[in-house]
Amino acid sequence: MSAVLDTHGHDDHAHHPTGIMRWVTTTNHKDIGTMYLWFSFTMFLVGGIMALVIRTELFAPGLQIVDPERFNAMTTYHGLIMVFGAIMPAFVGFANWLIPMQIGAPDMAFPRMNNLSFWLLPPAALLLIVAQFTPGGGAGVGWTMYAPLTVQAPMSMDLTIFAVHILGASSIMGSINIITTILNMRAPGMGLMRIPLFCWTWLITAYLLIAVMPVLAGAVTMTLTDRHFGTTFFNAAGGGDPVLYQHIFWFFGHPEVYIIAIPAFGVISQIIPAFARKPLFGYTSMVYATASIAVLSFLVWAHHMYTVGMPVEGQLYFMYATVLIAVPTGVKVFNWVATMWRGSLTFETPMLFACGFLFLFTMGGFTGLVLSIVPIDVQLHDTYYVVAHFHYVMVAGALFSAFGGIYFWLPKWTGKMYNETLGKWHFWLSFIFFNMTFFVQHFLGLAGMPRRIPDYSLQFTEFNVISSIGAWGFGLSQLLFLYIVVSTIRSGKKAADKQWDGADSLEWTHLPSPPPYHSFETPPVLK
Amino acid sequence: MFGKFARVVAGLSMAAWGVTAHAAYQLNLQTPATKEGVSVHELHTIILVICVVIFIGVFGAMGYAMYAHRKSKGHVAAQFHENTLVEILWTVIPFVILVLIAWPATRTLLAMRDTAQPDLTIKATGYQWKWGYDYLSGEGEGISFLSNLATPADQIHGTAPKGEHYLLEVDNPLVVPVGKKVRVLTTGADVIHSWYVPALAVKQDANPGFIRDTWFRADKEGTYRGQCAELCGKDHGFMPIVVEVVSAEKYTAWVGERTKKVAAAAEDADKVWDLAALKQRGEKVYQTNCVACHQANGMGTPPAFPPLSGSKVVNGPKEAQIALELNGKQGTAMAPFKQLSDTDLAAVITYVRNSWANKTGEVIQPAEIKAARK
Ligand SMILES: [Cu+2]
């Protein structure tokens, strides 16, 4: 027996099972990364269909295709699925694929836990989808799940709470894995201030996740016990306070915004230097700006709740702290533009998405500044202005960055090149339809259209028509993306090991395309 | 199925037609009717201009680089990646700009939050899904009423053409005098609502179990329309707010008329009704106040809104139901309805106790409600 083991020795684990069992039992960071990305895209389509139900209902005044309860459920689960099912797993997918390769490690620090953190996601997603078909339908409470509306909600609320618990557990495990990998498994000579910025952004994000996911779990658990076990955390009649929920939720919710945005910054910080053929401007200040955004994100939560009736001193504090975030965010944007300045620029699809990101994310940043000013927010809070604002940050920010990242690394991951012309079409269609959908929503919000309403008064008709047409265009454009990815995998032309001139991280400089199943079994030699 | 499809198509094409028929395309905040609203408007304009200037600066630079520093033009990349002076400048300058913005914002905010010495204090209570108003002090003290959506259901479902103020009209608007400081106390009866009137620059959450306040002083007479701004369940989109700002004389007249009505209703309470008449009146009251939750067929939408048809309370002793209607039920969505007149309450209870599967045969007289109030 021992002789057999000896001859196989180190290579034994390369004999992985095939077929479905390969994916169920895999502990390989590349396989798990791939599964995260496909899962995320599937959820993106599910959440997208919900968005189209919303936009179709809002195409015209009056109730046409769904009743108000179903409409509220759609807004709720569209939000939950996009945030927890699509965007967060997409960036965890990037982290899995890239972090070990970028720091010169063979795999993630805890491969089995890595498998578990992925396989927790499908049951959670299933709970969110099944919730739609339980008696009473999906809970129409908004993705923020404010009490005491949640206490009234049908049983789908309990499924949703359970799903949030599972998603939180998955995120925490993923974060522990990422932190341990980055801190302990860097190749010799790969100092912390040498790791690619993408790794830095994930290191910071992972700490944010560990800090706030338990807080969210606490908030929804309190909701659960208020619903079923006679507690009154959020009920004034029992000494509770409904606003308490909002404080707890947003203590999670504001860092959550950066949990989504910071890895997106990381991806952009890899793409722009590669196509400018010039090192990233201000690497060190980028690291500090990201860290300070993360720290500040814990101190500004109540700017989501200026109208709850907090004391004016509270409003002033949260306003000042919030506008302060504009400084490090500005630094990042300036750094990216300075990286492009006097570079040698080309505009392949990843760079188009990066420029689109820069342009639109900055607009989202500016509307964020407008909303941080309390007297203006009192006008705009809970209107379509806010809806427009956070879609500029989440879609044009995080999603565009993820698309850019996919086009950027697809040649590395698959060893095959995507169709550049179709990629550019995908960008321009997404860019135009995105703006058509969401730019006009600023006007709706300014004019006073509240969010989360299934029907609206007549003066809002025109912009809603435009927005709905844009949403359908945007949704259909994503099928083109699916086609591009699938046809690349099936029949793309061979990609070079270093497909992009200016790319300089280890996965490009030290590994072939596609990289071997186990990369860096011996650490790379760094100059 | 086909009928529904046809309705959808008809609705959608009507809307597409609407685009050409009336072009609203409002691009900015509603015209403010208060001094604070004007300040907010100015503040927004200032910040918008600052943002646009920075935006043009940053993306002008990016656009120039995209044009001039292209590889296809043969531009060779410089290799700089730091510049301490530039980095300090673009940290400090935005900071200074932010301080400059924060200053007028603070001034406006302090004025907006100063609710001291109002001429009139009104409590606005958010219910699922309507607003209730109680005039607590000032001229009109003691007036109290509910304010329901007045848009008929067939307009919402597309079987009748939509009126000019579709979804922004109520049966009883809030009436206030022009030029007077009106303090609005907000609270919720069931879940959180939010009292939002854009032209008055007012939005204040109405939290159940707590009272918060805001205020406005309208400079111009007119009708100002708003909506509930916090998701509050099924009919969140169907609980508008209408504020009628009238001259001092008209306001006094309105107060007089309201007070007379209340007095008339009180006298009315001694009248003895028969079952048919009371049931008929009760059905109307039910349509306005109860149908959103308990449904026209009395089946409710469980679990939050239990059915009335066959309900134990409805078929049990009438005293219990009267108390429930007057006081609501703690910890549930059932709100108190004591703002309704004795006759309306008697009518609706009689209606409920003699409709659907409920056949108590009882007639509840207004006098019984009057007695139960004490
Ligand atoms: Cu409401």
pLDDT at A140 over 70: yes
User: Residue B179's domain is classified under what CATH number?
Assistant: 2.60.40.420
Q: What is the pLDDT of residues A253-267, one digit of tens each?
A: 999 999 999 999 999
User: Do A195 and A182 touch, CB atoms closer than 8 A?
Assistant: yes
Q: Which of B177, B179, B181, B175 is nearest to B214 (CA)?
A: B181
**Is residue B124 located within the same domain as residue B86?**
no
pLDDT > 90 in chain B, percent: 43
The two structure tokens encoding residue B16: 């597409």
- Average pLDDT, stretch B197-212? 94
- What is the reported pLDDT for A15? 61
**Is residue B125 located within the same domain as residue B252?**
yes
- State the smallest CA–CA distance between residue B229 and chain A in angstroms: 6
Task: Look up the domain containing B291 and give its range.
Answer: 271-373
Q: What is the pLDDT of residues A308-351, one digit of tens each?
A: 999 999 999 999 999 998 888 888 899 999 999 988 899 999 99
User: What ipTM was predicted for this assembly?
Assistant: 0.89
CB contact under 8 Å between A378 and B230, yes or no, is: no
Burial B324-345 (b: 16+ CB within 10 A, else e): bbeebeeeebbbbbebbbbbbb
DSSP state of A521: S
The two structure tokens encoding residue B255: 């107060």
CB contact under 8 Å between B90 and A461, yes or no, is: no
- CA of B9: which chain A residue's CA is closest? A64
- CA of B230: which chain A residue's CA is closest? A382
Length of chain B as a residue count: 374
- State the smallest CA–CA distance between residue A237 and chain B in angstroms: 7
Number of other residues whose CB lies within 10 A of the CB of residue B93: 13
Model confidence band, residue B331 (pLDDT cutoffs 50, 70, 90): low
**Is residue B342 located within the same domain as residue B328?**
yes
- Average pLDDT, stretch A417-421? 94
Write the residue in B14, B191, B213 that is nearest to A60 by C-beta. B14
Question: Is A143 annotated in the active site?
Answer: yes
Write the residue in A366, A382, A454 that is nearest to B237 by C-beta. A454
> Which helix (H) or strand (E) covers residue A4, if one does?
helix A2-8
The two structure tokens encoding residue B277: 């008449």
- CA of A316: which chain B residue's CA is closest? B106
The two structure tokens encoding residue B116: 């001291």
Q: Which of B93, B87, B94 is nearest to A338 (CA)?
A: B87
pLDDT > 70 in chain A, percent: 97
- Write down the mean pLDDT value for chain A: 91
Residues 6+ apart with CB under 8 A from A440: A463, A466, A467, A470
Q: What is the pLDDT of residues A445-454, one digit of tens each?
A: 999 999 999 9
- What is the reported pLDDT for B7? 54
In sequence order, what are the beta bridge partners of B213? B185
User: Do A481 and A426 touch, CB atoms closer than 8 A?
Assistant: yes
Q: What is the pLDDT of residues A108-117, one digit of tens each?
A: 999 999 999 9
Q: Between A449 and A527, where is the model more confident?
A: A449
Distance B203 CA to ligand 1 centre (A): 12
pLDDT at B352 over 90: no
The two structure tokens encoding residue B276: 């048919």
Total domain count, chain B: 3
- Is residue B17 in some structural domain? no
Distances from the Cα of A60 to the Cα of A54, A458, A508, B8, B225, angstroms = 11, 9, 50, 9, 20
**Is residue B131 located within the same domain as residue B260?**
yes
Cα dihedral sign, B155-B156-B157-B162 = positive
User: Residue B353's domain is classified under what CATH number?
Assistant: 1.10.760.10
User: Do A189 and A526 touch, CB atoms closer than 8 A?
Assistant: yes
Q: Between A86 and B326, where is the model more confident?
A: A86
CB contact under 8 Å between A312 and B113, yes or no, is: yes
pLDDT at B76 over 60: yes
In sequence order, what are the beta bridge partners of B145? B133
Cα A29 to the center of its chain, rounded Å: 19
**Is residue B144 located within the same domain as residue B67?**
no
| Neighbour-count burial of B275, counting CB atoms closer than 10 A to its CB (0-12 exposed, 13-18 middle, 19+ buried) | middle
- CA of B236: which chain A residue's CA is closest? A453
CA angle A76, A170, A127 (to 5 degrees): 40
CB contact under 8 Å between A148 and B191, yes or no, is: yes
- Last-in-domain residue among B202, B237, B265: B265
- SS3 category, A513: coil
Give CA–CA dist B58/B125, Å, rounded: 48
Residues of B with Cβ-Cβ distance to A462 under 8 angstroms? 18-19, 23-25
DSSP state of B170: B
- Last-in-domain residue among B235, B250, B265: B265
- What is the reported pLDDT for B314? 85
Write the residue in B28, B94, B229 that is nearest to A450 by C-beta. B229
- Average pLDDT, stretch A88-98? 95
DSSP state of B200: G
Tell me which residue has tokens 């509240």.
Answer: A450
- State the smallest CA–CA distance between residue B15 and chain A in angstroms: 5
Mutation pick from B41, B81, B125, B299 vs chain A, by most beta carbons of A within 10 Å, is B81
- What is the reported pLDDT for B8? 53
- Is residue B15 in some structural domain? no
CB contact under 8 Å between A362 and B55, yes or no, is: yes
CB contact under 8 Å between A343 and B78, yes or no, is: yes
Write the residue in A149, A308, A320 that is nearest to B191 by C-beta. A149
Give CA–CA dist A333/A252, Å, rounded: 25
CB contact under 8 Å between B229 and A383, yes or no, is: yes
Catalytic residue among A29, A55, A254, A442: A254
Type of residue found at A247 = H
Tell me which residue has tokens 């939010």.
Answer: B194
**Axis crossing angle, helix A461-491 with helix A400-414, rounded to the nearest 10:** 10
Model confidence band, residue A439 (pLDDT cutoffs 50, 70, 90): very high
Give CA–CA dist B189/B130, Å, rounded: 10
pLDDT at B294 over 90: no
Question: Is A269 annotated in the active site?
Answer: yes
- Is residue B29 in some structural domain? no
**Is residue B247 located within the same domain as residue B128?**
yes
Model confidence band, residue B279 (pLDDT cutoffs 50, 70, 90): confident
Give CA–CA dist A298/B208, Å, rounded: 27
Give CA–CA dist A123/A451, Å, rounded: 30
| Per-residue three-class SS string for A230-268 | CCCCCCHHHCCCHHHHHHHHHHHHHHHHHHHHHHHHHHH
- CA of A326: which chain B residue's CA is closest? B94
- Is residue B352 in some structural domain? yes
**Axis crossing angle, helix A312-340 with helix B84-112, rounded to the nearest 10:** 150
- SS3 category, B147: strand
- Average pLDDT, stretch B289-313? 82
- Is residue B346 in some structural domain? yes
Distance A33 CA to ligand 1 centre (A): 43
Catalytic residue among A70, A451, A452, A518: A451
Distance B348 CA to ligand 1 centre (A): 24
**Is residue B54 located within the same domain as residue B157?**
no
pLDDT > 70 in chain B, percent: 93
- Is residue B360 in some structural domain? yes
Phi, psi (5° rounding) for residue A219? -60, -45
Residues 6+ apart with CB under 8 A from A314: A302
**Is residue B207 located within the same domain as residue B247?**
yes
Write the residue in B39, B196, B204 that is nearest to A375 by C-beta. B39
Cα A466 to the center of its chain, rounded Å: 26
Longest CA pairwise span in chain B (Å): 97
Q: Which of A404, A268, A254 is nearest to A333 (CA)?
A: A268
Question: Is A467 annotated in the active site?
Answer: no
The two structure tokens encoding residue A140: 């129409």
Cα dihedral sign, A9-A11-A17-A18 = negative
Question: Is A518 annotated in the active site?
Answer: no
**Is residue B41 located within the same domain as residue B128?**
no
Write the residue in B25, B90, B212 that is nearest to A462 by C-beta. B25
Number of other residues whose CB lies within 10 A of the CB of residue A305: 23
Burial B144-161 (b: 16+ CB within 10 A, else e): bbbbbbbbeeebbebeee
**Is residue B303 located within the same domain as residue B217?**
no
Give CA–CA dist A296/A303, Å, rounded: 12
Model confidence band, residue A4 (pLDDT cutoffs 50, 70, 90): very low
- Is residue B331 in some structural domain? yes
pLDDT at A9 over 80: no
pLDDT at A352 over 90: yes
Question: Is A38 annotated in the active site?
Answer: no
Q: Which of A374, A52, A296, A147 is nearest to B112 (CA)?
A: A374
Question: Is A472 annotated in the active site?
Answer: no
Residues 6+ apart with CB under 8 A from A343: A275, A276, A277, A278, B65, B69, B75, B77, B78
Q: What is the pLDDT of residues A455-501, one digit of tens each?
A: 999 999 999 999 999 999 999 999 999 999 999 999 989 998 889 98
**Axis crossing angle, helix A197-228 with helix A283-296, rounded to the nearest 10:** 10
pTM here is: 0.87
Question: Is A329 annotated in the active site?
Answer: yes
- Last-in-domain residue among B246, B265, B284: B265
- Average pLDDT, stretch A222-233? 93
User: Do A131 and A78 touch, CB atoms closer than 8 A?
Assistant: no
Give CA–CA dist B57/A224, Å, rounded: 50
Burial A446-466 (b: 16+ CB within 10 A, else e): bbbbbbbbbbbbbbbbbbbbb
- SS3 category, B318: helix
Model confidence band, residue B323 (pLDDT cutoffs 50, 70, 90): confident
- State the smallest CA–CA distance between residue B170 and chain A in angstroms: 13
Residues of A with Cβ-Cβ distance to B7 under 8 angstroms? 64
User: Do B98 and A323 touch, CB atoms closer than 8 A?
Assistant: yes
- What is the reported pLDDT for A448? 92
Number of other residues whose CB lies within 10 A of the CB of residue A106: 15
Write the residue in B55, B70, B231 that is nearest to A142 by C-beta. B231
- What is the reported pLDDT for A1? 34
- State the smallest CA–CA distance between residue B315 and chain A in angstroms: 25
Mutation pick from A246, A379, A441 vs chain B, by most beta carbons of B within 10 Å, is A379
Give CA–CA dist A43/A88, Å, rounded: 11
DSSP state of A458: G
The two structure tokens encoding residue A285: 């200040």
Q: What is the pLDDT of residues A143-164, one digit of tens each?
A: 999 989 999 899 999 999 999 9
Question: How many interchain CB pairs under 8 A, A with B?
Answer: 317
- Average pLDDT, stretch A358-370? 93
- What is the reported pLDDT for A14? 53
- CA of A351: which chain B residue's CA is closest? B66
- Is residue B185 in some structural domain? yes
**Is residue B314 located within the same domain as residue B259?**
no
**Is residue B289 located within the same domain as residue B153?**
no
Residues of B with Cβ-Cβ distance to A342 under 8 angstroms? 65, 69, 75, 77-78, 80
User: Do A306 and A381 touch, CB atoms closer than 8 A?
Assistant: yes
- What is the reported pLDDT for A305? 93
The dihedral region occupied by A342, where left means phi > 0, alpha psi between -120 and 50, and beta the remainder, is left
Q: Between B241 and B316, where is the model more confident?
A: B241
- What is the reported pLDDT for A180? 96
CB contact under 8 Å between A370 and B44, yes or no, is: yes
